[in-house]
Amino acid sequence: MRTSITDGVDVRSIARKHLLPHFTRGGVWASDELPVIVSGDGIYVSDDRGNRFMDGVSSLYCVNIGHGRADFAAAAAKQMETLGYWNTWSAVHPTAAEAACLIAGLAPGDLETVFFVNSGSEANESAVKLARQYHISQGQPQRTKILARDMAYHGTTLGALAITGISKYQAPFTPMLMPGVHRFPNTLGETVPAGGAAADLPSIKALNDVIEREGGDTFAALFAEPVQNSRGALVPPEGYWAELRAICDRHGILLVADEVITGFGRTGGWFGTQRYGVVPDLLTFAKGVTSGYAPLGGVVIREHIAHSIMESPLTGQFLHGATWGGHPVSCAVAVANISAMRDEGVVTNVVDNEDFLRAALEDLVTSHSSVLEVRGAGYFYTFEIVGDRATGRSLTDAQSIDLLREVMPKTALSVGLLTRVDDRGATMLQLAPPLIADRAQLDEYVRRLDQVLSAVDEYLHA
């Protein structure tokens, strides 16, 4: 057996010297308390010091089916032994075809064709290109603009970053981003007025204003997550998605559902748009398609859109590709994951326990004056933290920093919980347990969250 370079050596030291982290502050990277996760089992992971943690955010919304699946490792190994790599450029291999067929079979409506890439950012970037090339095939090359919501996160590659509505992520790269992205408000705090409809929502009115100002025939696509992650698990008001669908149909704009997080069971259906009864034109996915066991993402495309692109006399092909798109090993893991989720009733588990989890989280809101509210659906929620809910007191900037950098993450570690704090628009604690968590495990999850929130209350009262 090969000896690892990390055997008997401090992994933290090697990482600091040779590994550039993603979205990690320098102080965290330099800390002796930097977690080094070495193994996982079900909804738990363990570090190099023998500590066991509950995975409270599914390892960044990925590990839906839980850790330690030996059957997935076997599926990957078998594929490597048979065909370790081939591409989907002017050829195909059986595993990509099987994975595409499974995904298309789960997607709503006539979303029948899958274009594989490696990540959510690449999926959304590909959706931009698909929308653009489709409109060219329809003789409408003037459709170059994109609609996206405030505070929405759609990725960090330059095309996806242009759609992302978070200014601090864009700031260093603004001169390099594609033009023509127009924003409209998200649904934070919105409800359909009494006697009204989704068309009366302020965000929808603002969207219509943008389209009227710019001209509906200049827009290629509208991007939205079924439940918006950034700004805290924003569940749409009743009829919202149907109204987006109607607006896009009225103006010939493609509706793109970003399901990188909400796909594969997170909100209680195979895809989040199914919860709201709408078929988008393009649906992007990643994360849960393999439960994080291998990198894979993609776009599911309505049949007529895919045919229009491939049959266009202008190109006769989609002018985009990636070396690893539809990689045989990743596709084999996707097939194993989707099959296991189906056979083991993982999505049904979310449906059965959603109300139980929601009620327990609502009880925590009642018990802790520092929590403004909990938002979300399925196994996907956010606590928004304030100075005092009863008095309406906000957090100071210093309090927010302390809570985000010290109080919440350190308390979570101390009680055996790995979760995610969030500062995108407010001070928040994000919640996304693996979808296999049963009621006993959810109870334990809530108890650990209770201890984190108690530490927040204690800090603020002091």
Question: Do strands 282-285 and 297-302 pair parallel, antiparallel, or not at all (unpaired)?
Answer: antiparallel
Q: What is the pLDDT of residue 121?
A: 98
Contact yes or no for 338/330 (Cβ under 8 A): no
Q: What is the pLDDT of residue 152?
A: 98
| Beta-bridge partners for 380 | 377
> What is 336-361 written as a DSSP string?
HHHHHHHHTTHHHHHHHHHHHHHHHH
Low-confidence ranges of the chain (pLDDT < 70): 1-8
Q: What is the pLDDT of residue 6?
A: 66
Contact yes or no for 147/218 (Cβ under 8 A): no
Q: What is the pLDDT of residue 314?
A: 84
What is the identity of the amino acid at 136? Answer: I
- Residues 51 and 61: their CA atoms lie apart, in Å, by 22
Question: Do strands 254-258 and 219-224 pair parallel, antiparallel, or not at all (unpaired)?
Answer: parallel
Contact yes or no for 140/217 (Cβ under 8 A): yes
In percent, the amount of the chain with pLDDT more than 90 equals 96
3-class secondary-structure state, position 303: helix
- Residues 328 and 23: their CA atoms lie apart, in Å, by 29
> What is 254-300 written as a DSSP string?
EEEEE-TTTTTTTTSSSSHHHHTT---SEEEE-GGGTTTSS--EEEE
Interacting residues of 305 by C-beta distance below 8 A, sequence separation 6+: 130, 134, 254, 281, 282
Token pair 């302020």: residue: 202
The 10 Å Cβ neighbour count of residue 238 is 12
> What does the pLDDT look like over 419-437, one tens digit per residue?
999 999 999 999 999 999 9
Q: What is the pLDDT of residue 8?
A: 62
Q: What is the pLDDT of residue 162?
A: 98
Structural domains of the chain in order of their starting residue, each with its CATH number: 35-65+345-461 (3.90.1150.10), 72-343 (3.40.640.10)
Q: What is the pLDDT of residue 4?
A: 67
